[in-house]
């Protein structure tokens, strides 16, 4: 049973001890990093086209020179690294700020990818990685079969 404390206007409010009991008796919410956005893993879309796959990596604010894209033994690795330093002095104050950010994503390529022809471009905050299919894996146009 909760006790109420009287206030000067005659209304009753929960007492401090009840408020503390309620607060500490509650189950605290749990947070999972699975649902939190991660700076170290940019969102990536993979789209299948007739002759290739296209990866779209969302990376706004980066420069083309920040990226490195490698293909090695069936693994595609996309990484980026950026450092920023800024120093400002005025009067008797000096302000120095610096930052570092990076990410790395690795994808296992299927045998249907021609790894010698992988290409990449960066425009409007999106890194596009084109993964051409080998000839036998490309979609063939519909061929009409005559019935005899």
**Per-residue pLDDT of the chain in tens (148 residues, 90 and over written 9):** 444 444 555 555 555 555 555 555 554 444 333 444 445 688 999 999 999 999 999 999 899 999 999 999 999 999 999 888 777 777 777 777 778 888 999 999 999 999 999 999 999 999 999 999 998 877 778 888 899 9
Which residues, 6 or more positions from 101, have their beta carbon under 8 angstroms from its beta carbon? 39, 81, 82
Distance of CA 114 to the CA centre of its chain: 27
Please answer whether residues 46 and 53 qualify as being in contact, where contact means their C-beta atoms are separated by less than 8 angstroms: yes
What domains sit in the chain, N to C, each tagged with a CATH number? 1-30 (no CATH), 44-137 (2.60.40.790)
Return the residue matching tokens 């605290």.
Answer: 28
Please answer whether residues 123 and 130 qualify as being in contact, where contact means their C-beta atoms are separated by less than 8 angstroms: no
Output the pLDDT for position 38. 46
Q: How many residues belong to the chain? A: 148
SS3 106: strand
Output the pLDDT for position 133. 92
């Amino acid at each position: 049973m909760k006790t109420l404390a009287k206030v000067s206007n005659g209304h009753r409010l929960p007492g401090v001890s009840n408020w503390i009991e309620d607060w500490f008796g509650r189950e605290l919410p749990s947070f999972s990093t699975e649902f939190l956005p991660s700076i170290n893993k940019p969102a990536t879309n993979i789209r299948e086209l007739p002759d290739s796959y296209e990866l779209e990596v969302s990376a706004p604010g980066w420069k083309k020179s920040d990226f490195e894209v490698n293909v090695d033994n069936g693994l595609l690795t996309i990484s980026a690294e950026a450092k920023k330093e800024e120093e400002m002095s005025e009067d008797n104050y000096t302000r120095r700020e610096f930052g570092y950010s990076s990410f790395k994503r690795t994808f296992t390529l299927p045998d249907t990818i021609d790894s010698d022809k992988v290409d990449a471009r960066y425009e409007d905050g999106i890194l596009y990685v084109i993964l051409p299919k080998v000839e036998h894996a490309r979609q063939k146009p519909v061929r009409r079969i005559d019935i005899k």
